[in-house]
Structure 1
């Protein structure tokens, strides 16, 4: 059976982002059978403008949609800004959620998704993850319910080079990725019927 293709997106642009480190950790600790590609184009996506989203949308938006469509699932690691989703991540999801020709539905429609986040505080990703889950209701994305992965006091769980060193957190990350693989296979089986 070929590897399941996962597109991993960090909701942070900061060079030393703990959420970008979490995406790299997902790639490093991916269970057998998962191939994780890290999306690096978040900074380049223009603000969503339906006037630009016609026959020739911006190439970076088309690329994001294509990559999501081609992936079997998504892994999103998000920080929390002002009790919500970072604007750059929400903007990317707005581009991805739009129906595009010739496809009849958005690239997020029915897409299996795992959500995680890392923060230096005790609750810094909880509300952002909740807001993401709410956004994915509209796209009918298949979000993994459990386990939830909110890495609190994350600066204590990664070393100075951004490597995830906390074994409990690694175990939870692997469990989340395993649950994503199960969700993907369930979604694929349902679509094949």
Structure 2
């Protein structure tokens, strides 16, 4: 039986997203006492404070966040920043009274992407996401960092991670997150 629950959230909505592939790799490498669900953001509307209550698609993710002891955030990079889907669900969650869904929870951040020909993966998006997480009072791991160049051949056609070195880096990050969960 698992002791800790994680929620994985990818900024990409694509079915064969490499960032969703990173979440699958993270889930496969979790220690035995940790489980992870992955949030579905496909039907989550843009945050609008005019909604009297969050729509059902948002409430489903809120339920997952409430049950989670921590998060794995896959930072898809769009135009040198965080993808709208990830930022949007964090904006929705930040409006819950007392920041109850996010406050003080540990989070790991990883990402695959970046312009072709660079080796920096989603470093710029992760930097912006780290700033957002500071405001939201999430406790983001400082290391190990996982920045993956999505164009270097480390993923198959369905977005699954195949690069052994990156699989090892993701597993190390999940072990570090497990330690953070224990301390939280």
TM-score of the pair, normalised by structure 1: 0.87
Q: Secondary structure at the match of 1:156?
A: coil
Q: In structure 2, what is the equivalent of residue 106 of structure 1?
A: 100
Ranges in structure 2 where 5+ consecutive residues have no aligned partner: none
* CA-to-aligned-CA distance 1:142-185 (integer Å, 9 cap, x gap): 10110000012455112234332221111110111111111111
Identify which of structures 1 and 2 has the higher relative contact order when contacts are C-alpha pairs closer than 8 Å and 6+ apart. Answer: 2
CA distance, structure 1, for counterparts of residue 77 and residue 158 of structure 2:
22
Structure 1 residue 31: Cα displacement = 2.4
TM-score of the pair, normalised by structure 2: 0.91
Q: Is 1:98–1:107's contact at 8 Å kept on the other side of the alignment? A: no
Q: Secondary structure at the match of 2:82?
A: coil
Q: Is 2:108–2:177's contact at 8 Å kept on the other side of the alignment? A: yes
CA distance, structure 2, for counterparts of residue 57 and residue 177 of structure 1:
31
Moved beyond 4 Å, runs of 4+? none
Q: In structure 1, what is the equivalent of residue 49 of structure 2?
A: 50
Q: In structure 2, what is the equivalent of residue 142 of structure 1?
A: 139
| Two-structure CA RMSD over aligned residues (Å) | 1.7
Q: Tell me the number of residue pairs that the alignment of Structure 1 and Structure 2 aligns.
A: 181
Q: In structure 1, what is the equivalent of residue 89 of structure 2?
A: 92
Ranges in structure 1 where 5+ consecutive residues have no aligned partner: 188-193
Q: Secondary structure at the match of 1:147?
A: coil
CA distance, structure 1, for counterparts of residue 79 and residue 92 of structure 2:
22
